[in-house]
């Protein structure tokens, strides 16, 4: 396996398997590793290579030439000890980008203290995202980074029928409309001349609290 455009995924549970398959579909080579023989069998042929191994064992990781990978994802969540041991071994092998899934904040803190480069909180992040969708009129919600978010929503009444340039949107609501759907439903950039109609979908960017408040406006 050429390792430059390759990712190793350790732990092929629901999260790891879905991640590995998505990477494959976007043209990345994936080495999948799991302790469970049935899981390895079920993904055989779906990934570039699938191997049964105990990732907490340094010899196993060395045998699989994990040190030659730039990016390794530890998708073991429910087995805290295995997650910590695996991350610690990978870090001692000087892999430049170790990603690891944390089940909760405590788990995340330990991974951070170990020096894991990227920590993912899939359950927590998804819960927060769905909460935004359930609560209001937003169609999609994505936290971009600490404090900033992007929201897909239908045009609220306050924006309908006037040029975005005249709406004082940033001053009044702290947000920016980056894109809108046209009559065929296709996305295009929004600019100062854009006039939005009822039913148009828009992509709004801004600080979390502002996008949340804006997302609740009636349409
Ligand atoms: P999910 O919630 O995404 O299904 P889990 O944390 O339950 O994730 O699953 C993690 C996967 O990691 C399981 O398939 C399990 O067999 C695997 N696993 C656990 N310990 C090890 C280990 N030491 N080495 C390799 N794989 C492991």
Tens digits of per-residue pLDDT, 94-119? Answer: 999 999 999 999 999 999 999 999 99
State the distance from the centre of ligand 1 to the C-alpha of 128, rounded, in angstroms. Answer: 24
> Which of 12, 13, 80 gets mutated to test ligand 1 (max ligand atoms within 8 A of its CB)?
13
Q: Are 169 and 147 in contact (CB under 8 A)?
A: no
- CA angle in degrees (0–180, nearest 5) for 55-118-115: 70
The CA 28 to ligand 1 mean position distance, Å, reads 21
Tell me whether residue 197 is exposed, middle or buried, using C-beta atoms within 10 angstroms of its C-beta: 0 to 12, 13 to 18, 19 or more.
Answer: exposed
- In three-state secondary structure terms, 27 is coil
Q: Is 11 in the pocket of ligand 1 (CB under 6 A)?
A: yes
Q: Is the pLDDT of residue 208 over 60?
A: yes
Q: Which domains, from first to last, does the chain contain?
A: 6-120 (3.40.50.720), 125-215 (3.30.70.1450)
Global pTM reads 0.81
Ligand 1: atom nearest CA of 78 is: 6
Bridge partners (DSSP) of residue 135 are none
Work out the average pLDDT over 170-185: 92
C-beta 83 within 6 A of ligand 1: no
219: pLDDT strictly greater than 80: yes
- Residue 183's contacts (CB-CB under 8 Å, 6 or more residues apart) are none
Of 62-66, 130-134, 156-160, 161-165, the poorest mean pLDDT is in 130-134
């Amino acid at each position: 396996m050429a390792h430059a455009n390759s990712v190793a995924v350790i732990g092929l549970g629901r999260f790891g398997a879905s991640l590995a398959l998505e990477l494959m579909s976007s043209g990345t080579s994936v080495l999948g590793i799991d302790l469970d023989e049935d899981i390895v069998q079920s993904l055989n042929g779906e990934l570039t290579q699938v191997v049964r191994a105990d990732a907490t064992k340094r010899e196993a990781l060395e045998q699989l030439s994990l040190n030659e990978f730039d990016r390794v994802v530890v998708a073991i969540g429910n087995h805290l000890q295995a997650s910590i041991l695996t991350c610690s071994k990978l870090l001692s092998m000087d892999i430049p980008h170790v990603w690891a899934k944390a089940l909760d904040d405590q788990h995340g803190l330990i991974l951070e203290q170990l020096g894991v480069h990227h920590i993912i909180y899939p359950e927590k992040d998804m819960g927060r995202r769905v909460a935004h969708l359930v609560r209001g009129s937003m169609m999609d919600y994505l936290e971009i980074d600490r404090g900033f978010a992007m929201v897909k929503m239908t045009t609220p009444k306050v924006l309908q029928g006037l040029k975005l340039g005249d709406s004082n949107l940033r001053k009044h609501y702290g947000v920016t409309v980056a894109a809108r759907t046209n009559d065929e439903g296709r996305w295009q950039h929004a600019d100062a001349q854009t006039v939005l109609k009822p039913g148009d979908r828009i992509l709004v960017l801004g600080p979390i609290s502002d996008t949340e408040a804006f997302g609740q406006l009636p349409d």
